[in-house]
Structure 1
């Protein structure tokens, strides 16, 4: 079965990054540590967009991603950050090659 890969873009409200980023990193670390189906979870920030966070995530399959979304740590993160996020965009990607 094909791996499930996503790119998530968050735009955080002005002045909220100091609260948002530690929660995001905690969620990413818990995903890698506690979810066998989570193969990669990178947290990135574009140099020229201090209010933007990008996530690059690879899961074993769609079911592993669904388990991630249902996990207690993700639910805590999602609830704690809802009021901090101005915009969230999720893009599903086809992983064509790994180097």
Structure 2
């Protein structure tokens, strides 16, 4: 079990709260961050840190809803592999919303 810190950010760039959580891995922590983001309607993205390592970032509330409908989608989410990069234009959520 690892310790993580979750920061939900408002559109202004302010993260007025944070959550300390413990989960069995980065993917589980990201899934919990999605759940927490859903509880904070004023937040539009979230970051997850393991100690000083950024492990997940960039979720919008739209992404959170899309990923949460099928947890298997989390495994293919590039934000877990490259948390400092923006979501790519060919993201499955973006492709699904275009149709």
TM-score, structure 1 length as denominator? Answer: 0.32
CA radius of gyration, larger in: 1
Higher relative contact order (CA 8 A, sep 6+): 1
Larger strand percent: 1
